[in-house]
Chains A and B, each alone.
Chain A
Amino acid sequence: MAVAARPRKSARRQKLEAAIMYPLDWLEERSGLVGGIRYFLFRKVPGDTNWLHTLGSATLTAFLVQLVTGVILAMYYKPEPKTAYASIQHITNDVTLGWLVRGMHKWGASVFIILMFFHMARVFLFGAYKYPRELNWIVGVMLLAIGMLEGFTGYLLPWDQTSYWATVVGINLNGTAPILGPFLAQFLRGGAEIGPDTLARFYSMHMLLIPGAIIGLIGLHLYLVVRLGVSSPPWSREAAGSEWVEEQVTTNGRSGLTRPVARNSWRRNGGDTA
């Protein structure tokens, strides 16, 4: 790859750069983290990635919004049937910008789930669940299921009519599963009837158990993406890994990108199966 010649740096600039690099080098020598971040940031991805590939990180952003707003909400929310509703009213109507944080959390949940479905559809249509990305797809489906569970447990927390009855029906739905159903329903409820134990249980799951699982799975998901690479769109002519490019190739000298030679050779050679 041709490298453009850089102008020589002034001494002042060199000193400035050295000053900035010093703490980073210090950290790198003792932890290797800086190198890791640099690897993540500057790794190569196929040149033909398009806007559809942003759905994954958009989902991550939505989740991060949920995390942050959730942490703030937890500072004001009281997870006890007698006080939960009042605490939600307090957050929405009295706390400074509480309405905004609560609103972002409420609508962020919907956006998170929609984006997960869109991302899933994109991956499916691109065939990016095929070898070697099968494990990543499975992790993704787990994230989808657990994400919807997160929404279900969070729905109970305001303890208003909608919350309570949606949860009654949801738990009873689980109860209709064969053999283990009744016990699963009892476990979710924390007893034979929905009560304070149910709310506390759902709160613990919503705050600790499920987000922990989501964060762990997202970490695994991202690790696999970095390790296995991002796949090109299936219709791409310059797809990485497609066979025909190997055979007939010239570089255009400037950017180092290979350029296809003959269009019809694409079809003859089978196009992209990378």
Chain B
Amino acid sequence: MEPEHGQRPHTPGPTLYPIGFAAGIACVLVGLIVSPTVIAPIGGAIAVVFAFLWARDATAEYRGVPEPVEPERREAPAAATAPAVPAREGETAVPEPAPGERFPRSKFLEGATLGLGGVIGGVVTVPVLGMALGPAFGKQDKRYHHVDLGPLDNFPEGEWRLATFFLDPNQGEVTRRTAYIRNNGALDGEPSLTIISNRCAHLGCPVQPNGPVFDASTKNVNTGGGEQIKLIKMLPAGGFGCPCHGGQYDPEGNRTAGPPVRSLDRYEYSIVNGHLILGKTYSVAHVDGTGKDAVIHKYRLAGPGQHIDGWEQIFYPLQPPH
């Protein structure tokens, strides 16, 4: 159908050629930055192809090219040949698809909008959630599991030392921790040490020794890698006490009074080249016996206030990796 002059013709339906052209230009620009030899020419080719198609389409009416049939106009011939769709009471608002149309447009658009919206929402939210929640399931830094406390000679047998150290010297102050260490002597030829964490098992407050701390005997040990160990002689005769809510522990770390739900946590350790190396922290339900004869009921590390034995352990079946 030829458009008539003077009468405003039914303009050709929008095509996607301009978008293709823009994509080609964008490709060229990106290619210039990223890879001038490969991507830019590809972009150029795309741009040229779409420019040609666009120009051909835009000048169609001046060249006298017959107009393509509009999709909307298909309704008329289809209705003329096929029986009219009867209008019945209670019919759906969306009309039945005309013959030739398998899938009504509005339904498709609805579905596509919701679907695409869902995809976009997912693409934005999932990485963000992953980043936020990831640490809840992530592992503790491996660097934290290896602290060199210096030569074992600094820990005379039968004496307690208050040791302050960095879990990771590179991060500095924020990883400073304190442990109460007693050398119990030798057990089957191996040194036996009691290394107790100073974080209360109730809610994590710093626990004090119930006994003198001889600040004058402070010893600073440099074990390399930025690690500065401070060792102070102390004598927790009455065990340990927590100032927050009145928890009390005996010298083995067993709870004797107050709200703590289990014993104080302990550190694993190893002796390498005569140096005391701290390992992972673990939780302790209770300790039978004292010193090198102690039987430690060991569990994987749980947060303060979380029961690891007794009936209340069902509240804490899962622990994030530490």
Contact = CB atoms under 8 A, between A and B. Distances in A.
B135 A197 contact: yes
A15 B50 CA distance: 60
Contacts of B109: none
A260 interface: no
Provide the main secondary structure of the chain A interface.
helix
A182 B304 CA distance: 10
B205 interface: yes
Interface string B299-322: 000111110000000011111111
A165 B205 contact: yes
A236 B312 CA distance: 53
A192 B142 CA distance: 11
Interface residues of B, number: 34
B140 A183 contact: no
Given A169-B205, A169-B244, A195-B174, A175 B304 contact: yes
A81 B204 CA distance: 20
Contacts of B317: 179
Interface residues of A, number: 28
B303 A81 contact: no
B175 interface: yes
Given A81-B173, A82-B173, A181 B303 contact: yes
Contact of B204 (A168, A183, A187): A168
B135 A179 contact: no
Describe B's contact surface by its main secondary structure.
loop
Interface in A191-229: 191-197
B203 interface: yes
Interface in A86-121: none
A183 B305 contact: no
Interface string B186-208: 00000000000000000111100
Contacts of A173: 203, 305
Nearest to A161: B206
A184 to B, nearest CB: 8
Contact of B135 (A82, A176, A186): A186
User: Shortest 3 CB-CB distances between A and B: which pairs?
Assistant: A176-B305, A178-B315, A192-B140
8 contacts: A82-B174, A165-B205, A176-B203, A176-B306, A182-B318, A187-B132, A191-B135, A197-B135
